[in-house]
A and B are shown apart, each in its own frame.
Chain A
Amino acid sequence: DIVMTQSPDSLAVSLGERATINCKSSQSVLSSSNNKNYLAWYQQKAGQPPKVLIYWAFTRESGVPDRFSGSGSGTDFTLTISSLQAEDVAVYYCQQYSSTPLTFGQGTRLEIK
């Protein structure tokens, strides 16, 4: 199984400031056949199901604000929120879909400082 490890476990950022969440996979999720990283990011607000923000490591889902961006390749990835808004308080998860079983990171809780 590919183990996904996020850091930090929790994060407090001031409104308007940048938030950065890291995700590391135990094996590369970069496909040599199509040069794509099989990595998605989700946002889960309290009492709600997760919502996909980004897939293929940096492709933003339709309707997701452009303050959310994904970067990285291979085994190391980052989700960046460029200017934190109050509505961004949530738990964020990365997920690899390079191979089954599909696996998620343990989550990063993002709060307002």
Chain B
Amino acid sequence: QVQLQESGPGLVKPSQTLALTCSVSGGSISSGDSYWSWIRQHPGKGLEWIGYIHYSGSTYYNPSLESRVTISVDTSKNQFSLKVTSVTAADTAVYFCARAPSKSADWFDPWGQGTLVTVSS
């Protein structure tokens, strides 16, 4: 079955760019109608959808983050990525990647294990 794994730096300095990659195994990122998603969870808090991408390149972002967020896909590597620019301490969170089955059925399954990103100088 499909498995996802996040990777990237665990510490980012304020004002810099956070960059994470999600590697997909057990299935092709290019198959079907799946939307490949990023979700974050601030320490001890709830879940915030960041955005998602279809392998065709079609993207949807949370308007609250849209000005600072880019999600891209690399079908040759079976990966998709997240960039968040101009980070502050408020971007400290566990970042999850996940799959939504389709644009009209966008619950999330499966999820990666998550990676903690701390924004600090």
Query: Which A residues have a C-beta under 8 Å from some C-beta of B?
Result: 40, 42, 48-52, 55, 61, 93, 95, 97, 100-107
Of the stretches B7-15, B26-34, B85-93, B110-118, the one at the interface is B110-118
Contact partners of B105 in chain A: CB under 8 A: 55, 97
Do the beta carbons of B60 and A52 come within 8 Å of each other? no
Which residues in A have their C-beta under 8 angstroms from that of B36?
none
Q: Which residue of B lies closest to A59 (CB)?
A: B107
Chain A CB within 10 Å, residue with most, of B60, B63, B98, B107: B107
Cα A104 to Cα B49 with chains together (Å): 8
A105 to B47, CA, bound (A): 8
Q: Are the C-beta atoms of A102 and B114 separated by less than 8 Å?
A: no
Contact partner, B46, options A51, A55, A100, A104, Cβ 8 Å: A104
Q: For residue A93, which residue of chain B has the nearest CB? A: B47
B114 touches A101 (CB 8 A): no
A55 to chain B: which residues have CB within 8 Å? Answer: 105, 107
Q: Number of residue pairs across A and B with beta carbons under 8 Å?
A: 49
| Cα of A49 to Cα of B113 in the assembled complex, Å | 6
Residues on B with C-beta less than 8 A from A42 are 108
Q: What would be 16 A-B contacts, judged by CB atoms less than 8 Å apart?
A: A40-B107, A49-B113, A50-B96, A50-B108, A50-B111, A51-B109, A93-B47, A95-B47, A97-B107, A100-B60, A101-B63, A104-B46, A104-B47, A105-B46, A107-B46, A107-B47
Category for how many chain B residues contact A: 20 to 34
* Minimum distance in angstroms from A64 CB to a CB of chain B: 11
Q: A100-B60, A101-B62, A101-B64 are in contact. Are A52 and B107 (CB under 8 A)?
A: yes
B74 in the interface (beta carbon within 8 A): no
Q: A93-B47, A102-B106 are in contact. Are A51 and B111 (CB under 8 A)?
A: yes
